[in-house]
A and B are shown apart, each in its own frame.
Chain A
Amino acid sequence: GQQLNQSPQSMFIQEGEDVSMNCTSSSIFNTWLWYKQDPGEGPVLLIALYKAGELTSNGRLTAQFGITRKDSFLNISASIPSDVGIYFCAGKDSTGNQFYFGTGTSLTVIP
């Protein structure tokens, strides 16, 4: 299947700092999605991107669909303790019925 490389694997930051994470694929996608998962819960959709170059915000979160269509970025500004969790990227290409997922970035926010 498609390989999505997500980095970093984990981050430990101070409250108030900004966070950046990214996801790259081996092939072109036409949809990029970003999810957050809290312990014991299912992933919750944060941001959806559908066009190369698209920049979309959801509160303190901003995500971008890379120009090459093989990558996407998520930024969190002014982190707070409730940002703690695992963030997943997901992508979909034009040929299949599947969503492909990155292995996640574990975020810890130190108060």
Chain B
Amino acid sequence: DAGITQSPRHKVTETGTPVTLRCHQTENHRYMYWYRQDPGHGLRLIHYSYGVKDTDKGEVSDGYSVSRSKTEDFLLTLESATSSQTSVYFCATSPGLGRNTEAFFGQGTRLTVV
């Protein structure tokens, strides 16, 4: 498995505050992804990155922004947290988009917005 570390693992924050989640990888994978996981919805893509400073929106990007200043780090920011953003957030990485590629996941961050 790719070395993927998410921090923090748990966070409780207040509505309206900004929150940043960090994903750090040691595998030099080109692609990095942020997903949220909610009951009944499975894993939904928030944003992804296909290289340093190269990012794109996913299915549920509203209220979120990302940054990737180094290959190994991908940050997810909730600009002004809302209760609907209470979720478990997963980071994933992938070596590239050649034919045989796989995604590897971190252990997740459980975020509660009160």
Contact = CB atoms under 8 A, between A and B. Distances in A.
A90 B103 contact: yes
B48 A97 contact: yes
B111 to A, nearest CB: 14
A88 B41 CA distance: 12
Given A48-B100, A50-B100, A97-B31, A42 B105 contact: yes
Nearest to B41: A103
Interface residues of B, number: 30
B90 interface: yes
A43 B105 contact: yes
Contacts of B31: 97
Interface string A37-51: 000111111001010
Interface residues of A, number: 23
B40 A44 contact: no
Interface string B81-108: 0000000001010100101111111111
A97 B41 CA distance: 20
A21 interface: no
Contacts of B35: 101
A42 B59 CA distance: 20
The 4 closest A-B pairs by CB, nearest first: A42-B105, A103-B42, A101-B43, A42-B107
Interface of A: 1, 30-31, 33, 35, 40-45, 48, 50, 88, 90, 92, 97-99, 101-104
Interface of B: 1, 4, 31, 33, 35, 40-45, 48, 50, 56, 58-59, 90, 92, 94, 97, 99-108
Given A33-B103, A50-B99, A97-B50, 9 more contacts: A30-B99, A41-B108, A45-B1, A45-B104, A48-B102, A50-B100, A97-B56, A101-B35, A101-B42
